[in-house]
Amino acid sequence: MSKTALVFPGQGAQYIGMAKDLYESFEVAKEVIDKANSILDFDLISMMHDEDKKSELSKTENTQPALLTHSMAIMEILSKYESFKYDACLGLSLGEYSALTAANAMDFKDAVSLVRKRGLIMSNEVADGEGAMCAVIGANRELIEECILKLESGTVEIANYNSPAQIVISGEKAAVEEAAVLLKENGAKRAIMLDVSGPFHSSLLKGAGEKLKLELDKVDMKEPSVDVVSNVDANIHKDPDEIKAILVKQVYSSVLWEDSISKLIDEGFDRFIEIGPGKTLRAFIKKIASKKKADVEIINIDTAADVNAFIESIGGETNGN
């Protein structure tokens, strides 16, 4: 029997104009985005839609609520259709908060406020210019781990196991740059320094995790209504306190995205629906499934046209909510 997982993107998927056509085409999406705008202490709508605010949108503390809001606007539209069903949720880094919200573990109001604070905490933990991240293309885990061990000084760790073709490293800027050179010398196809504001998912952000715990303690976390796969250990956690502890650890731990998707494929999941901006997760899932020789369907729902096409594909009958 077919099993469906919803997947939610993280930072890097944002773009100017995100959710604009959703806002203009669906009243329920407009309500979600207006609600986020009223909860936050800045004009999120303008930041998502205006070209001259691109640099503001790219700041971590703004990107995170923008991504979650876009994804939840789509979820609000689709939730009106009784044929829209799913068996699990997971998200990449920030996307894990979208996954938990989609699984009814958090209220949207709490989630959008929390990720704004999460972004601020992460941005402020390490001074600008001191940390860096680098996407490594065409090198396996073992090679990257070996090269990191060869570094004479500095902190460099694996931040994201995204797919068999891409792993991201994170840490102190000079050490990450040194690692990038070493990796290319040892066979990596490419090592691309990322335009990010900090060394995310590395031990340099452990203090950020401790600060985030204080904010998570204020949130009413519930048991998820469907399984949510954690970034930190690629396992499913149901206890609210356990989920909070995992989210604290997630800030400074590796994102086990490949492991998480592999787990679901092994459990019979053959349909993945990417909810939110971009198609980054589609590319990762395609690579992971190919490595496992698994036949999976991957659907992207980003724009109003995507939403309409998906609604048509599932029958399009509302549940009356």
What letter would DSSP give residue 106? S
In sequence order, what are the beta bridge partners of 300?
A: 274
Q: How many CB atoms lie within 10 A of CB 32?
A: 24
What's at 206, amino acid-wise? K
Active site residue 201: yes
What distance in Å separates the CA atoms of residue 312 and residue 309, rounded to the nearest whole number? 5
What letter would DSSP give residue 190? E
CA-CA distances (angstroms) from residue 95 to 243, 258, 276, 281? Answer: 14, 15, 9, 11
Q: Nearest to residue 318, comparing CAs of 147, 83, 129, 87?
A: 83
Catalytic choice (58, 71, 93, 197): 93
CA-CA distances (angstroms) from residue 226 to 57, 60, 85, 181, 268? Answer: 31, 28, 10, 43, 16
Q: DSSP E strands: which ranges in the chain? A: 3-8, 88-91, 131-137, 156-163, 166-172, 190-193, 227-228, 269-275, 297-301
Catalytic choice (201, 230, 254, 260): 201
In sequence order, what are the beta bridge partners of 286?
A: none
Q: How many CB atoms lie within 10 A of CB 321?
A: 8
What's at 245, amino acid-wise? A
Q: Nearest to residue 26, comparing CAs of 320, 314, 307?
A: 307
List all residues 6 or more positions away from 97 whose beta carbon is below 8 Å from its beta carbon.
64, 68, 91, 106, 111, 114, 115, 118, 247
What is the set of active-site residues?
93, 201
